[in-house]
Structure 1
């Protein structure tokens, strides 16, 4: 009960006031492709169904991408999305989709020059 009462007192005192949005600039955290893991940027060209997509990769190769089961329901992918793909070592024409960028992250990538080479 002591924790509950102290929480109620803090709320009544006004210590949990929201921070005004004008005081701090918006910070965008972006995961960039890791070269040591052979990750590349790609654009989704079309949805093929059954967790498969067609990817136009940054290195100029069109690959069939697969969305792993661990990310299937967490990562909803549409045509035109920018993703990170990890090409297979055995078959270069296929890749796993491991990350999807949000709109603010795509804008950051464009500002920093990461997407200048994507066709």
Structure 2
């Protein structure tokens, strides 16, 4: 059983590159069925609140959810995934932050 685990661990190469020399990037895309969408962080307001501008041009007040609050720092200009609130207009939850290589990949593949 231990040999099986070692073999699988060896097969995963964290420094893998594509044939053109660029690093392999894994990117989470918004789930349309969950009403998720891309946005850009604009202004920090403190107390886990950020003004965000979605790709359709609407400015919303975003709240950083607890799961991401502890794990990722969100700064102005970051690309994020938001979920607009169904019960109050103009507000949303921030559920994911993209890193620079992930944002570059999204732009290269015309997602944003």
Q: Same fold (TM over 0.5)?
A: yes
Q: CA RMSD in A?
A: 1.9
Distance in 2 (CA, whole Å) between partners of 1:106 and 1:97 is 16
Alignment of 1:84 onto 2:81 = yes
Quickly say closer, same or farther: Cα 1:101–1:24, change in 2 above 3 A. Answer: closer
Structure 2: gaps of 5 or more residues: 1-9
Q: Secondary structure at the match of 2:70?
A: coil
Distance in 2 (CA, whole Å) between partners of 1:94 and 1:109 is 25
Runs of 4+ in 1 over 4 A off after TM superposition: none
Distance in 2 (CA, whole Å) between partners of 1:104 and 1:60 is 24
* Alignment partner, residue 6 of structure 1: none
Q: Which TM-score applies when normalising by structure 1?
A: 0.75
1:30 to 24, 27, 40: 27
Give the number of equivalent residue pairs: 97
Q: Which has the larger radius of gyration?
A: 1
Quickly say closer, same or farther: Cα 1:49–1:35, change in 2 above 3 A. Answer: same
Structure 1: gaps of 5 or more residues: 1-15
Distance in 2 (CA, whole Å) between partners of 1:78 and 1:59 is 21
Alignment of 1:43 onto 2:43 = no
